[in-house]
Amino acid sequence: MHFRYDPDEWRPELPGPVRSVATDDLTADTLVVWERRPYRVVEVREREQANWPKEYREAWVKQNMPDPATWYCRPRAIVLRSEEEPTAKPQHLQGPNNYYWHTLPEHYPLCRLCKEIPPCRHVHNERIMARATEKMEKEMALMPGVCHGCREPITKRQKHFTFPGPNLIRPDLGDNTAVFHTRKGCWDFLSSYDKRWAAAEEGRSRFFYCEGTETEHHDGSFECSKPDCAAKRVHKDLVQHAMWVRHHPRMREARGCWCLASQLF
Protein backbone atom coordinates (compact mmCIF):
# COMPACT_ATOMS: atom_id res chain seq x y z
CA MET A 1 0.00 0.00 0.00
CA HIS A 2 1.39 3.39 -0.99
CA PHE A 3 0.96 6.48 1.18
CA ARG A 4 1.29 9.83 -0.54
CA TYR A 5 2.19 13.22 0.90
CA ASP A 6 0.89 16.19 -1.06
CA PRO A 7 2.61 19.43 0.04
CA ASP A 8 -0.24 21.47 -1.45
CA GLU A 9 -2.93 19.68 0.55
CA TRP A 10 -4.38 21.81 3.31
CA ARG A 11 -3.58 20.75 6.89
CA PRO A 12 -4.40 22.69 10.05
CA GLU A 13 -1.56 24.38 11.89
CA LEU A 14 -2.15 24.00 15.61
CA PRO A 15 0.00 24.60 18.70
CA GLY A 16 0.23 20.85 19.37
CA PRO A 17 0.07 17.66 17.28
CA VAL A 18 -2.82 17.44 14.81
CA ARG A 19 -5.06 14.49 15.70
CA SER A 20 -7.25 12.81 13.11
CA VAL A 21 -10.24 10.60 13.85
CA ALA A 22 -12.22 8.35 11.52
CA THR A 23 -15.97 8.87 11.18
CA ASP A 24 -16.41 5.51 12.91
CA ASP A 25 -14.76 6.97 16.05
CA LEU A 26 -16.38 10.40 16.01
CA THR A 27 -18.45 11.20 19.08
CA ALA A 28 -20.89 13.97 19.88
CA ASP A 29 -19.34 17.24 21.14
CA THR A 30 -16.02 16.63 19.35
CA LEU A 31 -14.51 19.70 17.68
CA VAL A 32 -13.59 19.05 14.04
CA VAL A 33 -12.54 21.02 10.98
CA TRP A 34 -14.98 21.32 8.09
CA GLU A 35 -14.13 23.57 5.14
CA ARG A 36 -11.31 25.06 7.24
CA ARG A 37 -13.68 26.22 9.97
CA PRO A 38 -14.38 24.83 13.46
CA TYR A 39 -17.52 22.74 13.95
CA ARG A 40 -18.93 20.77 16.85
CA VAL A 41 -20.22 17.23 16.18
CA VAL A 42 -23.91 16.96 17.05
CA GLU A 43 -24.41 13.33 16.05
CA VAL A 44 -23.18 10.53 13.80
CA ARG A 45 -25.69 7.92 12.70
CA GLU A 46 -26.00 4.98 10.34
CA ARG A 47 -27.82 5.10 7.03
CA GLU A 48 -30.20 2.40 5.91
CA GLN A 49 -28.71 0.39 3.06
CA ALA A 50 -31.79 1.12 0.96
CA ASN A 51 -30.83 4.81 1.10
CA TRP A 52 -27.18 4.39 0.15
CA PRO A 53 -26.08 6.57 -2.79
CA LYS A 54 -25.25 4.81 -6.04
CA GLU A 55 -21.46 5.16 -5.69
CA TYR A 56 -21.52 3.43 -2.30
CA ARG A 57 -23.68 0.56 -3.58
CA GLU A 58 -21.34 0.03 -6.52
CA ALA A 59 -18.25 0.06 -4.26
CA TRP A 60 -19.96 -2.39 -1.89
CA VAL A 61 -20.66 -4.79 -4.77
CA LYS A 62 -17.05 -4.51 -6.01
CA GLN A 63 -15.87 -5.57 -2.54
CA ASN A 64 -17.97 -8.75 -2.71
CA MET A 65 -20.89 -7.36 -0.68
CA PRO A 66 -19.60 -7.60 2.89
CA ASP A 67 -21.92 -7.20 5.89
CA PRO A 68 -23.46 -3.72 5.35
CA ALA A 69 -23.63 -3.09 9.10
CA THR A 70 -19.87 -3.45 9.58
CA TRP A 71 -18.48 -2.52 6.15
CA TYR A 72 -15.70 -0.02 6.86
CA CYS A 73 -16.61 2.16 3.82
CA ARG A 74 -20.37 2.35 4.47
CA PRO A 75 -21.93 5.86 4.35
CA ARG A 76 -22.68 7.64 7.62
CA ALA A 77 -24.74 10.73 8.34
CA ILE A 78 -22.89 13.44 10.25
CA VAL A 79 -24.51 16.53 11.76
CA LEU A 80 -22.26 19.49 12.60
CA ARG A 81 -22.87 22.83 14.31
CA SER A 82 -20.69 25.87 13.65
CA GLU A 83 -18.65 26.66 16.75
CA GLU A 84 -18.27 30.32 15.80
CA GLU A 85 -21.92 30.72 14.74
CA PRO A 86 -23.86 28.41 17.11
CA THR A 87 -27.25 29.83 16.03
CA ALA A 88 -26.62 29.02 12.35
CA LYS A 89 -28.41 26.10 10.68
CA PRO A 90 -26.60 22.77 11.38
CA GLN A 91 -24.67 21.14 8.55
CA HIS A 92 -26.07 17.75 7.52
CA LEU A 93 -23.32 15.81 5.78
CA GLN A 94 -22.74 12.34 4.46
CA GLY A 95 -19.38 10.58 4.29
CA PRO A 96 -17.69 7.20 4.39
CA ASN A 97 -17.21 5.46 7.70
CA ASN A 98 -13.43 5.44 7.18
CA TYR A 99 -13.08 9.17 6.35
CA TYR A 100 -10.62 10.93 8.65
CA TRP A 101 -11.43 14.27 10.29
CA HIS A 102 -8.97 16.78 11.71
CA THR A 103 -9.93 17.38 15.33
CA LEU A 104 -9.39 20.57 17.33
CA PRO A 105 -8.61 21.29 20.98
CA GLU A 106 -10.98 23.53 22.92
CA HIS A 107 -8.49 26.38 22.48
CA TYR A 108 -7.74 26.79 18.77
CA PRO A 109 -6.36 29.64 16.60
CA LEU A 110 -8.35 31.48 13.92
CA CYS A 111 -7.29 33.87 11.16
CA ARG A 112 -8.39 37.38 12.17
CA LEU A 113 -9.57 38.25 8.65
CA CYS A 114 -10.89 34.95 7.30
CA LYS A 115 -12.13 33.35 10.53
CA GLU A 116 -10.52 30.13 9.32
CA ILE A 117 -8.23 27.65 11.00
CA PRO A 118 -4.68 28.58 9.90
CA PRO A 119 -3.33 28.52 7.36
CA CYS A 120 -6.31 30.39 5.90
CA ARG A 121 -6.94 29.98 2.17
CA HIS A 122 -5.07 33.21 1.32
CA VAL A 123 -1.88 32.17 3.11
CA HIS A 124 -2.24 28.62 1.80
CA ASN A 125 -2.61 29.80 -1.81
CA GLU A 126 0.45 32.04 -1.48
CA ARG A 127 2.48 29.04 -0.34
CA ILE A 128 1.22 26.97 -3.29
CA MET A 129 2.24 29.71 -5.72
CA ALA A 130 5.70 29.95 -4.16
CA ARG A 131 6.18 26.18 -4.48
CA ALA A 132 4.95 26.27 -8.10
CA THR A 133 7.48 28.96 -8.97
CA GLU A 134 10.30 27.01 -7.34
CA LYS A 135 9.19 23.85 -9.16
CA MET A 136 9.21 25.59 -12.54
CA GLU A 137 12.73 26.85 -11.97
CA LYS A 138 13.91 23.31 -11.18
CA GLU A 139 12.14 21.86 -14.23
CA MET A 140 13.80 24.34 -16.55
CA ALA A 141 17.16 23.18 -15.20
CA LEU A 142 16.54 19.54 -16.27
CA MET A 143 19.14 18.00 -18.56
CA PRO A 144 18.75 15.04 -20.98
CA GLY A 145 19.44 11.65 -19.42
CA VAL A 146 18.69 12.61 -15.82
CA CYS A 147 15.81 11.36 -13.68
CA HIS A 148 13.01 13.90 -13.85
CA GLY A 149 12.32 13.21 -10.19
CA CYS A 150 15.57 13.32 -8.23
CA ARG A 151 17.50 15.17 -10.99
CA GLU A 152 20.36 12.65 -10.81
CA PRO A 153 21.91 11.03 -13.91
CA ILE A 154 20.52 7.56 -14.75
CA THR A 155 23.22 4.95 -15.21
CA LYS A 156 22.86 1.79 -17.29
CA ARG A 157 22.67 -0.37 -14.17
CA GLN A 158 19.87 1.60 -12.53
CA LYS A 159 16.28 0.51 -13.07
CA HIS A 160 14.23 3.23 -14.70
CA PHE A 161 11.13 3.86 -16.80
CA THR A 162 10.82 6.08 -19.86
CA PHE A 163 7.40 7.45 -20.78
CA PRO A 164 6.64 7.29 -24.51
CA GLY A 165 5.74 10.39 -26.46
CA PRO A 166 6.38 14.08 -25.83
CA ASN A 167 8.06 15.20 -22.65
CA LEU A 168 5.32 16.94 -20.67
CA ILE A 169 7.79 18.70 -18.37
CA ARG A 170 10.35 19.83 -20.94
CA PRO A 171 8.81 19.51 -24.45
CA ASP A 172 11.98 21.04 -25.89
CA LEU A 173 13.94 17.88 -24.99
CA GLY A 174 12.01 15.87 -27.60
CA ASP A 175 10.01 12.62 -27.52
CA ASN A 176 10.74 9.67 -25.21
CA THR A 177 12.91 11.74 -22.88
CA ALA A 178 10.75 11.79 -19.73
CA VAL A 179 12.61 9.22 -17.63
CA PHE A 180 12.43 8.33 -13.94
CA HIS A 181 14.20 5.98 -11.57
CA THR A 182 11.85 3.25 -10.35
CA ARG A 183 13.42 3.24 -6.89
CA LYS A 184 11.39 4.14 -3.84
CA GLY A 185 12.79 7.65 -3.48
CA CYS A 186 11.56 8.64 -6.95
CA TRP A 187 8.13 6.97 -6.77
CA ASP A 188 6.14 10.12 -5.95
CA PHE A 189 7.59 11.90 -8.98
CA LEU A 190 6.95 8.87 -11.19
CA SER A 191 3.36 8.55 -9.99
CA SER A 192 2.66 12.25 -10.46
CA TYR A 193 3.96 12.19 -14.02
CA ASP A 194 2.01 8.98 -14.68
CA LYS A 195 -1.24 10.81 -13.84
CA ARG A 196 -0.25 13.75 -16.01
CA TRP A 197 0.75 11.49 -18.91
CA ALA A 198 -2.57 9.62 -18.88
CA ALA A 199 -4.58 12.86 -18.71
CA ALA A 200 -2.70 14.33 -21.68
CA GLU A 201 -4.56 12.15 -24.18
CA GLU A 202 -8.14 10.90 -24.07
CA GLY A 203 -8.45 7.18 -23.48
CA ARG A 204 -4.97 6.72 -22.05
CA SER A 205 -4.52 4.42 -19.07
CA ARG A 206 -1.90 5.00 -16.43
CA PHE A 207 1.09 2.66 -16.35
CA PHE A 208 1.30 2.53 -12.56
CA TYR A 209 -2.33 2.58 -11.45
CA CYS A 210 -5.08 -0.03 -11.35
CA GLU A 211 -8.77 0.67 -10.80
CA GLY A 212 -9.26 -2.70 -9.14
CA THR A 213 -9.08 -3.78 -5.51
CA GLU A 214 -5.81 -5.24 -4.30
CA THR A 215 -6.30 -7.92 -1.67
CA GLU A 216 -3.50 -8.92 0.65
CA HIS A 217 -4.25 -12.38 1.99
CA HIS A 218 -3.38 -13.51 5.50
CA ASP A 219 -0.37 -15.46 4.20
CA GLY A 220 1.11 -12.34 2.60
CA SER A 221 0.14 -13.14 -1.00
CA PHE A 222 -1.68 -10.60 -3.19
CA GLU A 223 -4.32 -10.64 -5.88
CA CYS A 224 -6.26 -8.01 -7.83
CA SER A 225 -9.93 -7.92 -8.80
CA LYS A 226 -9.05 -6.83 -12.35
CA PRO A 227 -7.65 -9.47 -14.72
CA ASP A 228 -5.70 -6.82 -16.65
CA CYS A 229 -4.06 -5.33 -13.55
CA ALA A 230 -1.18 -2.98 -14.30
CA ALA A 231 1.01 -5.12 -12.03
CA LYS A 232 1.21 -7.62 -14.89
CA ARG A 233 3.10 -5.03 -16.93
CA VAL A 234 5.27 -3.41 -14.26
CA HIS A 235 6.49 -4.45 -10.81
CA LYS A 236 3.64 -4.88 -8.30
CA ASP A 237 5.24 -2.64 -5.70
CA LEU A 238 5.09 0.27 -8.15
CA VAL A 239 1.36 -0.05 -8.85
CA GLN A 240 -1.18 1.93 -6.83
CA HIS A 241 -4.67 0.42 -6.60
CA ALA A 242 -7.99 2.20 -6.20
CA MET A 243 -8.79 0.05 -3.18
CA TRP A 244 -6.65 -2.03 -0.84
CA VAL A 245 -7.90 -4.70 1.55
CA ARG A 246 -5.93 -6.82 4.00
CA HIS A 247 -7.49 -10.04 5.21
CA HIS A 248 -7.05 -10.82 8.89
CA PRO A 249 -9.09 -12.74 11.49
CA ARG A 250 -10.68 -9.59 12.91
CA MET A 251 -12.13 -8.67 9.50
CA ARG A 252 -15.58 -10.28 9.52
CA GLU A 253 -16.29 -9.90 5.82
CA ALA A 254 -13.07 -11.78 4.94
CA ARG A 255 -13.69 -14.86 7.07
CA GLY A 256 -15.00 -16.81 4.09
CA CYS A 257 -11.68 -16.47 2.26
CA TRP A 258 -9.40 -19.47 1.87
CA CYS A 259 -6.53 -17.61 3.57
CA LEU A 260 -8.42 -17.64 6.89
CA ALA A 261 -9.72 -21.20 6.70
CA SER A 262 -7.31 -22.44 9.36
CA GLN A 263 -7.94 -19.53 11.75
CA LEU A 264 -9.99 -19.96 14.91
CA PHE A 265 -12.58 -17.28 15.56
The residues spanned by each domain of the chain are 20-122, 145-254
Question: What's the number of CA atoms in the CB half-sphere (13 Å) around residue 229?
Answer: 21
- Residues in CB range of 87: below 8 A, 6 or more apart: none
pLDDT interval class at 24 (50, 70, 90): very high
What is the CATH number that goes with domain 20-122? 2.30.30.30
Between CA 251 and CA 179 the distance in angstroms is: 41
What pLDDT is stored for residue 1 in this prediction?
37
Query: Of residues 138 and 82, which shows the higher confidence score?
Result: 82
The helix (H) or strand (E) run that includes residue 210 is: strand 209-216
Least confident of 73-77, 129-133, 226-230: 226-230
Q: Is the pLDDT of residue 166 over 90?
A: yes
Q: What is the CA radius of gyration of the chain?
A: 23
DSSP state letter for 89 = P
Signed CA dihedral, 162, 165, 168, 169: sign only: positive
Helical residues (DSSP H) of the chain, grouped into ranges? 54-62, 121-140, 187-199
What pLDDT is stored for residue 4 in this prediction?
54
Q: Is the pLDDT of residue 173 over 50?
A: yes
